[in-house]
Chain A
Amino acid sequence: MTVDVPLSLEKLAVRLGGEGARLDGAQRLSGGASMETWAFAVAGPKGREELILRRRSAPFDPETARSVSLATEAALIRATGAKGALVPPVRHLCDDADGLGEAYVMGRVDGETLGRRIVGDPRFDAVRGKLARQCGEALVPIHATPPPERRNLKVSDAQGELDRYEEVYRATGAERPILELAFQYLRKHIPEPVAPVLLHGDFRNGNLMFDPERGVVAVLDWELSHIGDPAEDMGWICTNSWRFGRPDRPVGGFGDYADLLAGYAAAGGRPVELSRVRFWQMLGSLRWGVMCLTMYLSWANGMEKSVERPMIGRRVSETEADLVVLLEEGL
């Protein structure tokens, strides 16, 4: 079913802004094949409000097969926001009357999300040194939020993640010696289990919004949220695929491990050892490699037509180039 989003937004504008309100511009922002993000504004008697619409445009996609529903995403943003997490305000959860399918509306937060700019743009030179610590601080209220009830969030630990990704890898039929070795190695180095917490699940440079003066202003893209080891969120932002050309700065391409860990502990998080973060970082590279394989397969089996998909398949070798160095260094 094709939805005329701008037309539906005109109707929604009245619902959000009241009698006399109208849609004042709507633009699709670059998004994935299965998820759309629209920037729009509502102008009405109560003034002008800048908003963001998140909507699912395809019912199923391997990239997001593990993702939570958008209603759950909105609930997570509300719950973590109540605990002090840096999240945009959820303004409206769409229902059938809106004709937008699975979708919700949030307030627009100003800032930069493009990872490469955070890492390299001179506008961020002054604040860059503070970002790793802020990322550690930003995780604390998320991890401290009791998981919202009846949302069926997946629970998984290191063992479970390895099992799951190995199963997905086997199902692709690909044979990649470095990925095989990484699975074997990580299985022998699984850290002691810890009490599981609510995780963002996709906490990396690219899913965070930054302001050139204030630093971290919002944590976005909650669709992979689940329950697990707090170090998983820390390891993912240290995975080299999200350092945008600055492997010398392990946290997101902008900072150091020590600042991330210190920020987390100083904000009241249970202190996490670096070795644990490094384990999850390595598993992060492996996870991204397997995800790249599945994205290629979604094209190969005809589910997706975008030229982006087969090209992402060629990103597996970046994870191999990273993994072989991490294997050499050892955990």
Chain B
Amino acid sequence: MITHPKTEELAQAVALWIDQIRPSLDPRNAFLARVAVNVLGVVGRELAQGPEAEATAARLMADLLGHGGGHAELNAELCAAIRAGDMTVETPGLLAALQAMARDQIAIDQPNYKAEGTPFPA
């Protein structure tokens, strides 16, 4: 991968520029500009954390399903098993695995989100 600059730095540079011009925008566009900055935050975090999160998820799903495979196939098979009732909240390890996967995903999408059950102050 090219490092000068890294892809996440490119995203960061655009986000900083949007922040610079934001005060000059009308309220609706200022709001959308803030959303755009958040989008670039997701892009940056996914670039940095996404590959490991996906590998972890694939490993957790492989353990549950008893065989290996790519993330997309394992995910589809897991969804089908849950839908068919072959896996439920009673299935050993299912909720713990889903919990870990959800944690990794929210760390990319909204790292400041306070999920259900989070004590305050966190």
- On A, residues with C-beta under 8 Å from B are 28, 30, 175-178, 180-181, 183-185, 240, 243, 245-249, 285, 306-308, 310-311, 314-315, 317-318, 320-322, 324-330
Contacts and interface: CB of A to CB of B under 8 A. Distances in A.
Nearest to B64: A177
A189 to B, nearest CB: 10
Contacts of B109: 314-315, 317-318
Contacts of A307: 32, 35-36, 39
Given A30-B28, A175-B79, A248-B118, A310 B39 contact: yes
A210 B50 CA distance: 41
A329 to B, nearest CB: 8
A314 B35 CA distance: 12
A51 B88 CA distance: 52
A325 B31 CA distance: 31
A320 B105 contact: yes
Interface of B: 27-28, 31-32, 35-36, 38-39, 42, 75-76, 78-79, 82-83, 85, 87-89, 94-95, 98-99, 101-103, 105-106, 108-110, 112-120
Interface majority SS on B: helix, strand, loop or mixed? helix
B38 to A, nearest CB: 6
B41 to A, nearest CB: 10
22 contacts: A177-B78, A177-B79, A178-B101, A181-B88, A247-B120, A285-B116, A307-B35, A307-B36, A307-B39, A311-B35, A311-B38, A311-B39, A317-B102, A317-B106, A317-B109, A317-B110, A320-B102, A321-B115, A324-B99, A324-B102, A325-B117, A327-B95
A325 to B, nearest CB: 4
Contacts of B35: 307-308, 311
B110 A247 contact: no
Contacts of A328: 89, 95, 99
Nearest to A245: B114
B79 A322 contact: no
A318 B83 contact: no
B62 to A, nearest CB: 14
Task: Name which of A181, A306, A320, A324 has the most chain B CB atoms within 10 A of its CB.
Answer: A324
Contacts, number: 110
Interface majority SS on A: helix, strand, loop or mixed? helix
A318 B115 contact: yes
Nearest to A309: B35
A310 to B, nearest CB: 7
Given A181-B89, A310-B39, A318-B113, A30 B106 contact: no
Nearest to A180: B82
Contacts of A320: 98, 102, 105-106
B42 A314 contact: yes
Nearest to A328: B95
Nearest to B27: A30
A248 B116 CA distance: 8
A316 to B, nearest CB: 8
A317 B32 contact: no
A315 B35 CA distance: 12
Nearest to B117: A325
A247 to B, nearest CB: 5
A297 B39 CA distance: 16
A318 B82 contact: no
Contacts of B95: 324, 327-328
